[in-house]
Chain A
Amino acid sequence: GAVVSQHPSWVICKSGTSVKIECRSLDFQATTMFWYRQFPKQSLMLMATSNEGSKATYEQGVEKDKFLINHASLTLSTLTVTSAHPEDSSFYICSAVRGTGPSSYNEQFFGPGTRLTVL
């Protein structure tokens, strides 16, 4: 159990276009999902916290108008990179949190990642 999928696994787009990445928890419900970005040879950088039914919370330095996050259901969060530019090329990873509340630890399960290349 606890499988998280991402679609697409890779995408190549032209500069100026928008790209949507989906993150799904396949066998559990996740009120919280996280979006990360990872550049080559670097660690994962948290971009935002996606909360089902409410606005996402962005980390400092992440442009909320450029990286649109929607968490419309308990199993799906989407990240849309708007007006993508070559510097947005990166590996985007989501995680979904499975937990039962403050009395137990909320485990993060990670998706396989999406490789975005902007030409």
Chain B
Amino acid sequence: LAKTTQPISMDSYEGQEVNITCSHNNIATNDYITWYQQFPSQGPRFIIQGYKTKVTNEVASLFIPADRKSSTLSLPRVSLSDTAVYYCLVGDNTNAGKSTFGDGTTLTVKP
């Protein structure tokens, strides 16, 4: 399973755009990249998933360069409620999506 590396923590202010980068140097050809958000005492919640280039949904964008060795989650105009831990996962489809959680990035949004 591909190992991921993220910054341990980030601070931001309300209304700013936040970019969290994840490194996954040994990503395999069949692997997808998925980002989850987790609040304290809750299960992770799906944010966005991609394979290459750029993916955008109603809450975030995901940028993946051509070599796919990293990815960047972009959260536009964050609010206090976006304070959470964000995990980047690289999933091996041959194992039914079995993935290993890295340490995650604790994002703190300040007023």
Contacts and interface: CB of A to CB of B under 8 A. Distances in A.
Interface of A: 4, 6, 31-32, 34, 36, 43-46, 49, 91, 93, 95, 97, 99, 102, 105-113, 115
A17 to B, nearest CB: 23
Contacts of A99: 96-97
B93 A105 contact: yes
Contacts of B102: 43
Interface residues of B, number: 24
A25 B58 CA distance: 25
**From B32, B45, B95, B96, residue with most partner A Cβ within 10 Å:** B96
B76 to A, nearest CB: 24
A74 B7 CA distance: 37
Contact of B96 (A46, A49, A112): A49
B13 interface: no
A105 B98 contact: no
